[in-house]
Structure 1
Amino acid sequence: MSGPEVTRPNILVFIADQLRADHLGAYGNDEVRTPNLDRLAERSTVYENAHVANPTCMPNRASLLTGRWPSAHGTQYNGIPVDPEASTFVRQLASCGYRTSAVGKLHHQNMGWDFEPEQLEQIRASAPGLMDPRLPDAFNRLREPGWDQCENRERHAASFIPMPEDYYGYQNVDLVIGHGDAPGGHWAHWAREQGIDPELLGGSKAGTNVLDSWEQVYTSSIPASAHPTRYIGVKASEQVRKAAGEDDPFFMFVSFPDPHHPFAPPREYSRRYDPDSLSLPVGFGQDHSRSPEHIRKMIAQRGQPNGDPTMTFSVTETQYRMAAAAQYGLIEFMDEQIGEVLQTLEETGQADNTIVVFTSDHGDLFGDHGLMLKHFVHYRAVTRVPLLIHMPGQKVAEHRADLISSADLAPTFMDLAQVPAFRGIQGRSLSENGELRVGDGARALLIEEDQPFSLEGLPAPVRMRSVITPEGRLTKYFGTDTYELYDHRNDYDEMENLAGLQQAQGLKHRLEMALNEELVNLSSAQVRPVASA
């Protein structure tokens, strides 16, 4: 005699782009207004120490998708599409009866951005074979031409292009390509249906209040009603309503391209925060005499953005304040859309059987230590991300200090959905028997970052590996003698680099042992052996 049928939960995941944890009210920020996420946190498990597997968009999004670190899944930096044959948790859910959909930015394939000229020069000098089209890759698979152009912005600009029926496991995708107020993809066609031409009204040239010293901060001329953030809210609510009429459970990935720079809120949100009233972040004017050379060089050029607008640089007080006021407006706008989607979930009667998750793909230095954006540094602001998990029926918040990685989410989602995992998962599930575990975090977390180019003061190619434990952080820049060492028990804000100090040798040794162990742990089997020899 069979037991009662088990009802599998829906899973609704919200993800922000380049949002550090403490730019939300739920994580202690009393300047930004995020009432909907704050209410969600009040009935969720709030993970205080969730960190990325890699602090860069494509690599960490691939880790979220596969439960594997970039050195294993192969997307080690932006520009390498995720292997279309890779096992993903979304594909596993779909194969077991879940209806899977995504709304917004995915970034599993290239958007079509080129390297900057100086970056290409560095790559050709340090790794001449990397960009040579005549050389084969380590693995060559026969694939249809164009397989890796599904998120190419130029291709989507010509006409509306539906996504494949199985896009890394997603059966339906409403796509946004890029960031800011005028990205590409399906949004651009929707905006035109609203009477808005992104080519005329999008970007800093059409915007107002452009910051003279950094054009990544401006007020968008795209109205809030046609903004990408609004598109995502509308399309996600449509998908939630559609799901109410279906028998099978759903998995939905709702991915906002904000608050990633450019920091360009629509006019309705651009003046909600007074730049002069915002407090300066930790270590804004700190002494960097013991910091690595590339950080010291950035500080010496404070106020000069990198030629590549995505790269780390040192900000002035004015640049920080103006960017923070703009970003807070974007965060508040995003929070309102999340509130609308959650309201739709309630109205359609699906809230009581839906797990709701909020996180981000990586953080942003955003003024900490006098730096901005990301790349080539692993300060907490850029590696730590928000992570809220609401379980059906949960009424009160639980706060956990466990060390959690972005790679842990894939196995967690499969466990919560009662779906078998695939071989090669490197993340650790936070769930057991359909419930979240208590006090079962990792002893140490590994963070990878690889780049084929670098900044002044740091030779290319860059191979960074960090380990974080409750005791501290060690970051090694492989190929150089440079490393960073921080004692989190006495220096939570990472203000004093202890590298080279005799009194810190014990800490260094313990963290090196933890780093070595984590590196070995990544050699897990990913293919079933069919014989002993």
Structure 2
Amino acid sequence: MMNVLLITVDQLRWDALSCAGEGGAHTPHIDRLAREGVRFSQAFTNAPACMPARSSLLTGRFPHAHGVRGGGVRLSEREVTFPQIVSQRGYHTAHIGKLHVQNHTYRDHTAPHPGYGFRTLQVTDERGVYRDPYTQWVERNYPEYADAIRIEPGASRVRSRTDHAETTGAFPARASHSRWVGEASVEFLREYGNAPFLLWSSFFDPHSPFIVPSDLAGRYDPADMPLPRKCDITSDNEESIRKKRAAYYTLVSHVDDCVGEILRYLDESGLAKRTAILFSSDHGEFLGDYGRWGKGRPEDESIRIPMIVKTPEMTEAPPVPRVVDDIVQLFDLAPTICDLTGSMKPHSMQARSLLPLLGGGTDPGRPPFALIEHNFETSRTDAAEVFEKTLRSKDFRLTVWSGRDDGELYDLRTDPAQDRNVWDVPEYAEIRFGLVWQLLQRLLQTENTLPVRTQPF
């Protein structure tokens, strides 16, 4: 039976890896996966926010189907997840790191977390905020840094507008959250590697705030950092922007270091010969582009993600890297894992397995566009909500919002940077109508079919 290792990195831009082209961080270990495996160059999230995106990954369903329409909405324990399905095949299912399909603010982290099909579950939805498996690991192994790794909760950082601050931490890399994910993952493999396993190693970095371990400071020179595009750069903010970008890339490279340790153990133990590795991110990061930081918008910086799949038979890098340009989405990893483990896929899954594309084949039933959904509150006082739907194909990006008569339409064939909104341009009226119709049809095709119809009436 084939083992599965799923590696996710939080808030990782599609172009932040060196294998994606010039300008990325130095990521030799993840690049190796891309050389030996298959890299999907047109991969998109299902939602540019943690909770809905991760819920889609777990269920293989769109946010409008599983109900986690945005942050603050927890995933129902009645949803069918790929760990539940795989566990029925006899796999030891495990999750280590950030899961974030339950609200973690004000949650009692000493209470058991819903399992969602995982037999082993070590959840740390933020680093250094709660007394969770990570902070306890630091207390046991590096007590001198137990206070140094502590940070205020994300909700507080958002209110104080410090969530995208960068700083050098008073702790070394060996006590970082990324190092804990790597070491805990190797520990799990050492203990349970002989049985069929499904392990999800979920890194929090390079999610903001960009806190760099003390011994990694200077890994990237801020002066060498490219400045963001479509951003108002002034003498007052340029230095700060360059430091933030350098810190972000430092954290990306640190995650790559820790991924390398996991891959090294797979090689040395022989597990690599029977383990499929899937790599991706939940969403992107603006990193100063458009003058923004974070995610939550329909531009590519926020919705486009890296994705790599390597199966055991892919042992050597081919002369030409395997790159698939078909449009794929984050939740496609769920049915792919089911196929790799020989598990049955429930009819409720709306995603499509990547297996037909891995060997250079085609998938005629795959839509030639991604559907990305976002939901956000317009006011914290009355909880009014706006629903956002984006259709992203290779040629166009269309976005519409509830309660608005206008929208956004970009012709990526002539405007890849998405600088000119042609929504109201007469020459694009027919194209706009066709895309809106495709979007409507996709929403109708993916209506929720749970609970299952059991009788005619």
TM-score (normalised: structure 1): 0.78
Shift of 1:374: 1.4
The 3 A distance-change label for structure 1 pair 238 and 515 is: same
Given that 1:233 and 1:341 are in contact with CA atoms closer than 8 Å, whether structure 2 keeps it comes out as yes
Q: Secondary structure at the match of 2:109?
A: helix
Decide which of 428, 431, 438 is 2:352's aligned counterpart: 428
The 3 A distance-change label for structure 1 pair 42 and 171 is: same
Decide which of 433, 445, 457 is 1:521's aligned counterpart: 445
Q: Secondary structure at the match of 1:22?
A: coil
Shift of 1:236: 0.4
Shift of 1:285: 4.8
1:174 and 2:174 aligned: no
Q: Secondary structure at the match of 2:247?
A: helix
Given that 2:85 and 2:343 are in contact with CA atoms closer than 8 Å, whether structure 1 keeps it comes out as yes
Given that 1:454 and 1:462 are in contact with CA atoms closer than 8 Å, whether structure 2 keeps it comes out as no
What residue identity is the alignment partner of 1:503? E
Given that 1:182 and 1:228 are in contact with CA atoms closer than 8 Å, whether structure 2 keeps it comes out as no
Distance 1:96 1:71 in 2: 29
1:404 and 2:353 aligned: no
Corresponding position of 1:321: 242
**1:369-407 superposed Cα distances (whole Å, 9 cap, x missing partner):** 2322112x2000110010000011212331011111112
The 3 A distance-change label for structure 1 pair 421 and 448 is: same
Corresponding position of 2:157: none
Shift of 1:431: 2.0
Decide which of 263, 273, 284 is 2:210's aligned counterpart: 263
Decide which of 185, 192, 210 is 1:243's aligned counterpart: 192
Distance 2:399 2:144 in 1: 46
What residue identity is the alignment partner of 1:442? P
- Number of residue pairs the alignment of both structures matches: 441
Shift of 1:435: 6.1
Given that 1:88 and 1:169 are in contact with CA atoms closer than 8 Å, whether structure 2 keeps it comes out as yes
Q: Secondary structure at the match of 1:19?
A: coil
Shift of 1:163: 5.1
Once the two structures are superposed, the pairs formed by residues 347-362 of structure 1 within 5 Å of their partners are 347-362=268-283
Q: Secondary structure at the match of 1:279?
A: coil
What residue identity is the alignment partner of 1:350? L
Q: Secondary structure at the match of 2:326?
A: strand
Given that 1:357 and 1:390 are in contact with CA atoms closer than 8 Å, whether structure 2 keeps it comes out as yes
**1:265-306 superposed Cα distances (whole Å, 9 cap, x missing partner):** 1011221111111112343359xxxxxxxxxxxxxxx99xxx
Q: Secondary structure at the match of 1:42?
A: helix
1:16 and 2:15 aligned: no
The 3 A distance-change label for structure 1 pair 522 and 454 is: farther
1:74 and 2:67 aligned: yes
Given that 1:178 and 1:184 are in contact with CA atoms closer than 8 Å, whether structure 2 keeps it comes out as no
Shift of 1:325: 0.5
Distance 1:72 1:472 in 2: 25
Q: Secondary structure at the match of 2:174?
A: helix
Corresponding position of 1:334: 255
The 3 A distance-change label for structure 1 pair 413 and 233 is: same
Given that 2:145 and 2:175 are in contact with CA atoms closer than 8 Å, whether structure 1 keeps it comes out as no
1:438 and 2:379 aligned: no
Given that 1:283 and 1:495 are in contact with CA atoms closer than 8 Å, whether structure 2 keeps it comes out as no
Given that 1:203 and 1:220 are in contact with CA atoms closer than 8 Å, whether structure 2 keeps it comes out as no
Distance 1:285 1:28 in 2: 25
Shift of 1:197: 6.0
1:109 and 2:83 aligned: no
Decide which of 262, 280, 298 is 1:378's aligned counterpart: 298
Percent identity between the aligned chains? Answer: 30
Distance 2:326 2:283 in 1: 18
The 3 A distance-change label for structure 1 pair 466 and 213 is: closer
Distance 2:299 2:351 in 1: 22
Corresponding position of 1:277: 224
Distance 1:332 1:349 in 2: 26
Distance 2:85 2:78 in 1: 12
Given that 1:283 and 1:369 are in contact with CA atoms closer than 8 Å, whether structure 2 keeps it comes out as yes
What is the RMSD of the two structures over their aligned residues, measured on CA atoms?
Answer: 2.5
Decide which of 87, 90, 93 is 1:94's aligned counterpart: 87
Corresponding position of 2:427: 503
Shift of 1:175: 2.2
Given that 1:204 and 1:220 are in contact with CA atoms closer than 8 Å, whether structure 2 keeps it comes out as no
1:481 and 2:435 aligned: no
Given that 2:29 and 2:256 are in contact with CA atoms closer than 8 Å, whether structure 1 keeps it comes out as yes
Corresponding position of 1:451: 376
Unaligned runs of 5+ in 1: 1-7, 114-151, 206-211, 287-301, 304-314
Distance 2:109 2:38 in 1: 41
**1:10-39 superposed Cα distances (whole Å, 9 cap, x missing partner):** 010110001111011111144521111111
